[in-house]
Amino acid sequence: MIKWMLVFIVTSYSSNTGYIEPRTEAYYSYNTMEDCFKARETLSIKMGGEAGHYPIGTIGVCFRYQAK
């Protein structure tokens, strides 16, 4: 079964490496592309951005995956 996943990625400074590094902050699963894209837009607003535009250093990405 094909499903959709929304992954919320943030960048932050790592004191271990001394670099700005990405990390997955959250992920959510959806049955349809439409549901994933609606959730992506809602998340962008909740994170302080504007509809579909995330604050600098963050992003939400929807992609298909094969569920078991």
Total-model pTM: 0.88
pLDDT digits (tens, 9 = 90+) for 25-45: 999 999 999 999 999 999 999
Q: In angstroms, rounded to a whole number, what is the distance separating the alpha carbons of residues 4 and 51?
A: 20
| Nearest CA-CA partner of 56 in 27, 17, 20 | 20
pLDDT digits (tens, 9 = 90+) for 41-66: 999 999 999 888 999 999 999 999 99
